[in-house]
Amino acid sequence: MIKKLRGTYDILPEEVARWQYLEKKFKEIVERYGYREIRTPVIEETGLFTRSIGETTDIVEKEMYTFQDRKGRNVTLRPEGTASIVRAYLESGIKPEILTKFYYYGDMFRYDRPQKGRYREFRQFGIEAIGSASPALDAEVISLAMYMLESAGLIELELNINSVGCSECRRIYYDKLREYIRPFASVSTGNSGTFSTARLCATCQKRMDKNPLRIFDCKEEVCRKVLEKAPVITENLCQKCASAFEEVKKYLSVLNIPFVINPRLVRGLDYYTRTAFEVVCKKIDSPQQNALVAGGRYDSLIKDLGGPDTPAVGWAMGMERILLALEILKIDLPVEEKSGLYIASLGEVAFTEAFRIADRLRRNGFKVHLSGSGKSLKSQMREADRIGAGYTLILGGDELSRGVGILRDMNSSTQREIPLANLENELKTLL
């Protein structure tokens, strides 16, 4: 028997109800904030991701599903949503001076080590607001994310924010950071050997030249230790970035949204500028799983991908993480439990009538379950129970001859006769 691939999983119908509940709720909320849905391909040219996410990021270096198609093109299953949306935005020729608000929902792929809440195929719900550099917009998208999580019933949330600056402030900051890191990086520190036990991992040694900020993303204990006293970007912002960050904080305060400034929050993707943020659920212990939403500003990405200079901000939420957090917090989503009508019938004649009635009711807007003919009443009732029908209509020869059926309320287990001719009217108030 063929089994599912490692890192993937099936969402069975009983669980799908929870997903659908969240999807519906989230869509309804983002639309209130003016976002419109965009659907982009799951597969893109590899270059789109290497150019936007960054060559030296974990995603590009080791997590992408990249392969050659039959014509030898280098293609990749999307590991995140933003790059594709920016590509679609540029290809569609939308005027950059208009603030464009997109939301998306779909599957992403990363070849990561699978664990609870972390899969190789996972689902993200995200937004992108393209065309404004206003710090108020940063606060607005953060507020939106917080509101969505709260409306899903989540508690114990903590908003972490930081500014990762712009290319200007980074140029100066990178020099400072490299200076600080140098003793921990070179193999030949020579003299006292003070740093011999605290040497950066091989990956971080490589990162030092291209994008030293990424060192803060390293999970290795030795690197974390080295970075404890490292200069942070937040304290080395240029004038413009510093005042933009102040504005973001001001607008968050206007909305009474508490936040924690986390100077080590740099995000795993290269394209972020200025505001970076994460919302974590404090009840989840694993630091690799507790971020429910992550995002930030990416003012240079659109230009980097060949478009006009257009500022933008966005975030993505991990649906698996959100559902895991709800599970850990023991929060039940108010998903509908029993619904629809099950029609049980006794004998061939009654089944034919049930078959006709089921079709008629479905066309009139009712949700109706009907199984095949030739089953005992007992097994049909069991089936009605298992699929969670709200009511069961029982049709037997005797009832049919009188033009009635027996309607059983599956919640209260009470039953009564109802005329079949008037079925729609009777059911309208019940289903």
Among 107, 121, 220, 304, binds Zn ion (CB under 5 A): 220
Comparing CB distances to Zn ion, the nearer of 58 and 128 is 58
Q: Does 204 bind Zn ion (CB under 5 A)?
A: yes
Q: Does 223 bind Zn ion (CB under 5 A)?
A: yes
Cα separation, 399 vs 357, in Å, equals: 14
Least CB distance from residue 143 to Zn ion, whole Å? 24
Cα separation, 135 vs 112, in Å, equals: 34
Comparing CB distances to Zn ion, the nearer of 79 and 165 is 165
Radius of gyration of the chain (CA): 28
Stretch that binds Zn ion, among 8-16, 102-110, 157-165, 413-421 (CB under 5 A): 157-165
Q: Does 295 bind Zn ion (CB under 5 A)?
A: no
Q: Does 137 bind Zn ion (CB under 5 A)?
A: no
Cα separation, 156 vs 149, in Å, equals: 10
Q: Residue 167 carries which side chain, given as an amino acid letter?
A: S
Stretch that binds Zn ion, among 39-47, 113-121, 148-156, 220-228 (CB under 5 A): 220-228
Instruction: Check: CB of residue 159 under 8 Å from CB of residue 142.
Output: yes
Burial 91-113 (b: 16+ CB within 10 A, else e): eeebebeeebbbbbbeebbbbbe
Cα-Cα-Cα-Cα dihedral sign, residues 6, 7, 13, 15: positive
Q: Does 201 bind Zn ion (CB under 5 A)?
A: yes
Least CB distance from residue 244 to Zn ion, whole Å? 8
Stretch that binds Zn ion, among 20-28, 134-142, 212-220, 413-421 (CB under 5 A): 212-220
374 C-beta neighbours (distance < 10 Å), count: 9
The label of the residue with tokens 């995002």 reads 295
Among 142, 166, 181, 324, binds Zn ion (CB under 5 A): 166
Comparing CB distances to Zn ion, the nearer of 166 and 323 is 166
Least CB distance from residue 61 to Zn ion, whole Å? 13
The residues in 232-291 that bind Zn ion, with binding defined as CB under 5 A, are 238, 241
- Residues that contact Zn ion, how many (by CB under 5 A): 11
CA 111 to chain CA centroid, Å, is: 17
Angle at 239 between CA 236 and CA 242, to 5 degrees: 65
The label of the residue with tokens 């070849």 reads 111
Least CB distance from residue 105 to Zn ion, whole Å? 33
**Both tokens of residue 381?**
């009732």
Least CB distance from residue 236 to Zn ion, whole Å? 9
Q: Residue 21 carries which side chain, given as an amino acid letter?
A: Y
Q: Does 426 bind Zn ion (CB under 5 A)?
A: no
Comparing CB distances to Zn ion, the nearer of 121 and 220 is 220
Among 22, 137, 145, 218, binds Zn ion (CB under 5 A): 218
The label of the residue with tokens 């597969």 reads 43
Question: Interface residues with Zn ion (CB under 5 A)?
Answer: 165-166, 168-169, 201, 204, 218, 220, 223, 238, 241
